Structure 1
């Protein structure tokens, strides 16, 4: 799995009709900054409202997953989200000029193709996985649905379906790694049974349905009159049933294409948890209602791990900048080189790490029998983190000095001791002008805020 966050290299657009609304729309994928996540934007509505791809925004699961925020709604988001997860793209804005993404051929493959055409762009931020800490289970006895997430240092998905149908029988599908999604799952199309068609049509669903964007499974004898009615429904001159039980002679891309599409739906719906997953997902007879209910359980478990605004530090992952790269940017050296790693960096925010050990030189004189990290050294380390952010705005940071101009609202909330790992976050409060930067700095040990301050600094060329 990719370690760093990714967006796309350029803006791309795809067009088509929505499956359930039948409305033509243009969907544009737009590159987004780190930690942006997936967001939809209804550019056809006043104010161009944004809808976060969040499980708590789901308002309908009638044959698809619909999200809504601030009165703006987007239908059938799961195939688009599955493509993004399958390519391990983390940050993108999805602009729509209609109520629903194009259904295309009923799978995710055409979204995969256009996203790959845009290209993937690595970003200066580590992915913040939700690593399932313990088994999480969901069960719906009425629908005979069972789903589980088991701890795993990877993302694997296994799906089993059984519709008591002589045509489909019992099927299962699985991927052992998310990198298999494109080749094994993305091209698998949505499907429904013939007896469901009239019901869906009468509910004003599948208004954009076509035999080119869905598999219709025929599990009973069909009269000539019914076939004529179906031909009128789909605006076809003729509708036939092949002996395998698939309407209009559609060839399956895989013998277990329906099970593979159910896996696609699971991947897309679980994207609404909000972070890339590390887990073994097992799903028996899943559907959108169960997927969403399960995603909510996962999100509630994720929220217990701590606030999302605190920088997440995983020592197993490689840093954005290591100590050698930091040394090439900052002029500080022993004993005032206080920063060990940069784990996040974008245009306005930086996060760094300082491992505090008993071998720090200041412990020799600062309470030798009661080693406590001096507050001024915490502020200095936080300032060096902010210095990386400021110097990243110039092409030749090695030719600049950074100087403090002011410290405001500084507070020390808890002692920092040997063995602690300090995680710093610095965020610009306003754009840098004339070499002057003002930022809010925070320092955490675990989820505990230990130090904070508002700092002002200037950057000056060494030859000035």
Structure 2
């Protein structure tokens, strides 16, 4: 899948009944520009207020995930959000004339089909990711539900469900890649146990339900009284139990449909993190509460990563330039060559690495009892990485050099000491004009910014 952001190509219109409100709702999905995310719009309310699909707006998770912003509510948003993520969409406006999307058949299937028919449009800006670099988890001690995420190259999910009932038993489901969502996950419908359904009907909380949009596992005796309640609620002349323990008028799409629907819910709830995830999620007995609590934790981690602006790089990957390639571009030589590898390179940015060794000659005289890399040399190393960005894009780099013109907003935030791997990320602030290069540079050790500076340099032809 592309790493560019995406939206839908054309408007989508769907209508149906809200599961809990029982009201007819018209849903219009509209294209949105980059970095919009998913935004619900209540067209039935004055001013058409908007509620962003943001986990910090979650208020309740009873029988579905509810968002609320300034008194405006959106109920049961997870199936629609799962469809958008599963179809590789990043940005969309979701206009509704009610508080709840249509339940349709209780899955994401019809949302997916509508998105596929409308088409997907690639946008100009790159997609952002929460890159999982260490194990994170959340446990709900009251239920034993647990969600863990571990590092992985793609977005993978495994769900395990065990409700302690003979009729459902233990089920597992997995998705190795979002490309599997359309056929393997989207058609999985929501489900309920008979005792839960009875409670919801008695509380008047499932007005839009139908045997066709919810699998009902019969975990108790189907008494004449209960049968009459179901017949009245669903408008059926007869209600009976199939041999596999579910109510009639519905055939399972998958033997493990319950586990697949729980996986669908995880995708929809984690969409509220607000960014794509690179990691493997393992969910044991997931539910909307534990899903959204975990989403809040991931959202905080993403904001921390974004604030630190730590570049995503793989130290084990083949470098763009090793030390020999660097010496072909830069005129510097040891001991004043302060770059060991170039990890990433484009027309507008570069990422380079400096291994800080105790053998560096400057440690002999610079705080010898407590070796610290001089700040001026950190800036020099940053500038050399910036020089690679410039010289790698000219046809004859051996005939050019880059020279400092100006430094601004230089900040040293943490000491750099022997054993550190110093990573520099340099980006052009504006296009190169008349040989003048304006760059913003950051230096990192681990997840911490240790140095930053705004640099200006001039590219000049070397005199022979």
TM-score between the two structures when normalised by the length of structure 1:
0.69
Give per-residue Cα distances to partners, 1:179-205, cap 9 Å, x unaligned.
554443332011234554575467675
Q: CA deviation at 1:207?
A: 5.0
Q: Secondary structure at the match of 1:92?
A: coil
Aligned to 2:60: 60
Q: Secondary structure at the match of 2:260?
A: helix
Aligned to 1:108: 108
Distance 1:379 1:119, change over 3 A: same
CA contact (8 A) 2:28 2:94 kept: yes
In 2: Cα distance, 1:391 partner to 1:201 partner: 71
After superposition, where does 1:427-442 map in structure 2 within 5 Å? 440-442=440-442
Once structures 1 and 2 are overlaid, which stretch shifts more, 247-256 or 118-127? Answer: 118-127
Give per-residue Cα distances to partners, 1:153-185, cap 9 Å, x unaligned.
574423123263x6x331312216345544433
Aligned to 1:278: 279
In 1: Cα distance, 2:316 partner to 2:53 partner: 27
Q: CA deviation at 1:311?
A: 0.9
CA contact (8 A) 1:31 1:92 kept: no
Q: Secondary structure at the match of 2:141?
A: strand
Which of residues 10, 16, 25 in structure 1 aligns to 2:27? 25
Aligned to 1:192: 192
Distance 1:263 1:176, change over 3 A: closer
Once structures 1 and 2 are overlaid, which stretch shifts more, 396-405 or 270-279? Answer: 396-405
Whether 2:6 is the aligned partner of 1:8: answer yes
Give per-residue Cα distances to partners, 1:320-374, cap 9 Å, x unaligned.
x9339xx89x965654794844559898xx56232235599xx55x455558655
Which of residues 220, 229, 232 in structure 2 aligns to 1:229? 232
Aligned to 2:135: 133
Give per-residue Cα distances to partners, 1:220-254, cap 9 Å, x unaligned.
1456754552245xxxx756445345455111112
Aligned to 1:82: 82
Whether 2:242 is the aligned partner of 1:243: answer yes
In 2: Cα distance, 1:208 partner to 1:351 partner: 55
Give per-residue Cα distances to partners, 1:283-312, cap 9 Å, x unaligned.
13x321233345456667x58986753314
In 2: Cα distance, 1:313 partner to 1:29 partner: 29
TM-score between the two structures when normalised by the length of structure 2:
0.69
Q: CA RMSD in A?
A: 5.0
Q: CA deviation at 1:265?
A: 1.6
Larger radius of gyration between Structure 1 and Structure 2: 2
Distance 1:66 1:434, change over 3 A: farther
Q: Secondary structure at the match of 2:451?
A: strand
Distance 1:96 1:353, change over 3 A: same
Whether 2:179 is the aligned partner of 1:177: answer no
In 2: Cα distance, 1:388 partner to 1:73 partner: 52
In 2: Cα distance, 1:318 partner to 1:127 partner: 19
Once structures 1 and 2 are overlaid, which stretch shifts more, 222-231 or 439-448? Answer: 222-231
After superposition, where does 1:129-168 map in structure 2 within 5 Å? 129-133=131-135, 137-140=139-142, 144-149=143-148, 153=152, 155-162=156-163, 164=165, 168=167
In 2: Cα distance, 1:125 partner to 1:346 partner: 18
Distance 1:424 1:20, change over 3 A: farther
What is the count of residue pairs matched by the alignment?
431
Q: CA deviation at 1:139?
A: 2.4
In 2: Cα distance, 1:84 partner to 1:403 partner: 49
Distance 1:189 1:73, change over 3 A: same
Distance 1:303 1:8, change over 3 A: closer
- Structure 2 alignment gaps of length 5 or more: none
